[in-house]
Chains A and B, each alone.
Chain A
């Protein structure tokens, strides 16, 4: 079956702009995760959804970052007033159950100029 998909693949924006990143999890997966990966580092946790609700958003760096999953499937990560330091690869993962194996999408490469 289809894996996790993310759009866009690449996003270039200017400092101060608003961006939305989309994640389509594997069909039937109830748990969805967002991570951020900077060059040369491992992915860092941002937020976790179980169904429609954010079960843990303690990894979001500040209040410019927000994520939703209104119907318990697709999720959108929203970044307001982007800063150059937000440039990174944003990864989405899903799992069939909360403690199960997580499967990652290809990521969105965000560049803030």
Chain B
């Protein structure tokens, strides 16, 4: 199955800083999602981005499918951005319906 690796595992920043989180995946995918897990454990959808670039407010994401990586950018960080950010891809390559395989996440702490 597809392997997903995320970096860095931990990141501590001051409020207002920018950050880039990386996700590498081991094979071609037709689905790539970024999630934010808040301190209460809720997984919040950020982006569905199998390729290309999307932006939503202070967050943006880029997936370069041919090179098997995706980046999540957070600009002007706020304390509410703290939590764990997960990248997830289908368990198997080749398209079709599938469960997701998750990376181990990036634990982001934004200090005031």
Contact = CB atoms under 8 A, between A and B. Distances in A.
Interface of A: 31, 33, 35, 41-48, 50, 55-56, 59, 89, 91, 98-104, 106-107, 109
B95 A43 contact: no
A interface, over-half SS: strand
Contacts of B88: 42-43
B86 A42 contact: yes
B102 A44 contact: yes
Given A43-B43, A48-B98, 11 more contacts: A35-B99, A43-B102, A45-B100, A99-B30, A99-B31, A99-B95, A99-B97, A101-B45, A103-B45, A104-B35, A109-B41
22 contacts: A31-B97, A33-B99, A42-B86, A42-B105, A43-B43, A43-B86, A43-B88, A43-B100, A43-B102, A44-B102, A56-B98, A59-B99, A100-B31, A101-B45, A101-B48, A102-B45, A102-B100, A104-B45, A106-B41, A107-B41, A107-B42, A109-B41
Contacts of B91: 45
Interface of B: 30-31, 33, 35, 40-43, 45, 48, 86, 88, 90-91, 95-105
A23 to B, nearest CB: 14
